[in-house]
Amino acid sequence: MVDISPRDNFVVTDVLIFDGSRFIERGYVVVGKGKICDVGEGTYEKAHDDIVPVYSMPDHTVLPGLIDAHIHGLGGNPICLEQSLNFGVTTVCDMHNGRGSITKLQQFASDPANKSRFADFKSCGMGATISGGWPEPVMRLHAKGPNVQTVIDRWPKLQSPHDADPFVQEQVEQCGAEYIKLFHELGDSLKNKMPSTPSLELQRALIEAAHAHGLPAVGHAFSFEGMLELLQCGIDGLMHAPLDKARSDDYVGLFKEKKAFINPTLTCLASQSSAADELQRRFHADPFAQKMLFNTKPRKNLAMGGESAHVQHGIDMTRKLYENGVPIVVGSDSSGQASGQQFGLTMHMEMHLLAHEVDMKPIDVLKSSTSTTADRFGFTDRGSLDVGKKADLILINGDVRDVMEDEQNLCLPIRAVWRDGVLDSRYDQFLE
């Protein structure tokens, strides 16, 4: 007999569905053994298995679980997985971390017993760091504890293009890397100059090595110049919008030509340019956030931006890229440190800023938080509600389009979160 346990088998019906690319106004989603088994229009009426719970949820929306394309689970602290899941983020993508922390988080996330508690964890392995390059300055300024130097000493110290292939090979073999992360911080939009910056030859070699392993290469740059250089090297995605002003509109053509995407991290830019206080205060005061955060105090600004830095520059460039059809990917750049962003909550902040500052349509913000990210990173098992995908789902009160169009609404009003069809234990009351 087929094993049908209610743990990861259920049906949600009479519900508005966003399947990753389009809306179904009233339909059903059937989950079996943690996978999407069926999605259709109308009311679910196939009465073949009355032991499977059927939740009739009119006036609700079901969506794929959110994917946070950009976190740093520093110290291997599982709060990055737990708090993210509570905010509806079923997958987090780490963008540079210590090897020990990566292993820890991979173990937490992959244990089936933890599906009701932790988000899934994806990794680049360690980032392609050089001695004296990014992210050393941000670690020294904001990381706590006496062992910051020890942590930095363990990061890669890449020097020449010959280091690129062994480096990529190592991330794949030792960390199961699914993408490669470059750092191209020139310091020209920050308060302080960088002690050293990587050569374009090294960056090009890293991107080639990533591609030779079938992996996308994504890169950090906080300045317009840094972004252009990475694009010219052939990067697949930018993990920030720039802090300083666009010198021309040439970047739009370059993004199109290189088929690159952007992860704007607007909350991070606001924090770096010391403009995030009000944003942080409002979102931390949201009752949903108060309930789900481990630490409910608003974050302080990262405040490393120089005179030319302002979040508005990043917003303007993101809008122009959006209008020109460049793919946008949502990621928070949360790191769990004292300043900046919050795991999970900052995804909702980014989605709000993209809807109301960048003027993206709700459906496009939703794609950018789910299917676009999965496509761009090559995660073929998630990001949409197609049959056979993982049953990573969130249930929202109301019509998510109306919720997102009203600027007064902050966090999405989540009623339930499932990872691989398993209900997040924070949402047990959903069953009552």
The stretch among 91-99, 174-182, 282-290, 318-326 that binds Zn ion (CB under 5 A) is 91-99
* Cβ-based nearer residue to Zn ion, 95 or 230: 95
The stretch among 24-32, 119-127, 143-151, 326-334 that binds Zn ion (CB under 5 A) is 326-334
Instruction: List phi, psi (to 5°) of 203.
Output: -60, -45
The stretch among 61-69, 89-97, 184-192, 273-281 that binds Zn ion (CB under 5 A) is 89-97
- Compute the least distance from the CB of residue 161 to Zn ion, in Å: 24
Rounded Cα–Cα distance for residues 301 and 16 (Å):
38
Rounded Cα–Cα distance for residues 13 and 371 (Å):
22
* Cβ-based nearer residue to Zn ion, 8 or 333: 333
- The DSSP 8-state label assigned to residue 390 in this structure reads B
- Compute the least distance from the CB of residue 323 to Zn ion, in Å: 26
- Compute the least distance from the CB of residue 32 to Zn ion, in Å: 37
Residues paired with 253 in a beta bridge: none
The stretch among 143-151, 178-186, 292-300, 329-337 that binds Zn ion (CB under 5 A) is 329-337
* Cβ-based nearer residue to Zn ion, 137 or 362: 137
* Cβ-based nearer residue to Zn ion, 44 or 183: 183
Instruction: With CB under 5 A as the rule, give the number of residues binding Zn ion.
Output: 2
With CB under 5 A as the contact rule, the residue among 120, 163, 188, 333 that binds Zn ion is 333
Residue numbers 93-112 binding Zn ion by CB under 5 A: 95
* Cβ-based nearer residue to Zn ion, 114 or 368: 368
Q: Give, in order, the Cα–Cα distances in Å from 286 to each of 150, 221, 339, 379, 415.
A: 38, 31, 19, 32, 15
Rounded Cα–Cα distance for residues 18 and 423 (Å):
19
Rounded Cα–Cα distance for residues 266 and 274 (Å):
12
Q: Is 163 a residue that touches Zn ion (CB under 5 A)?
A: no
Instruction: List phi, psi (to 5°) of 204.
Output: -60, -45
- Compute the least distance from the CB of residue 201 to Zn ion, in Å: 24
Phi-psi region of 113 (alpha: psi -120 to 50; beta: other; left: phi over 0): alpha
* Rounded (5°) CA angle 80-279-303: 75
- Compute the least distance from the CB of residue 26 to Zn ion, in Å: 40
- Compute the least distance from the CB of residue 333 to Zn ion, in Å: 4
Evaluated on CA atoms 244, 156, 74, 136, the torsion sign reads negative
- Compute the least distance from the CB of residue 335 to Zn ion, in Å: 7
* Cβ-based nearer residue to Zn ion, 97 or 371: 97
Q: Which residues have a Cβ under 8 Å from the Cβ of 346 and sit 6 or more positions away?
A: 267, 332, 333, 334
The stretch among 106-114, 200-208, 333-341, 368-376 that binds Zn ion (CB under 5 A) is 333-341
* Cβ-based nearer residue to Zn ion, 31 or 66: 66
Type and span of the H or E element at 417? strand 414-419
The stretch among 90-98, 104-112, 180-188, 279-287 that binds Zn ion (CB under 5 A) is 90-98
- Compute the least distance from the CB of residue 183 to Zn ion, in Å: 9
* Cβ-based nearer residue to Zn ion, 17 or 124: 124
CB 31, CB 392: distance < 8 Å: no
* Cβ-based nearer residue to Zn ion, 185 or 424: 185
> Of 270, 375, 260, which is closest to residue 321 (Cα–Cα)?
260
CB 30, CB 44: distance < 8 Å: yes
Contact residues: Zn ion, CB under 5 A: 95, 333
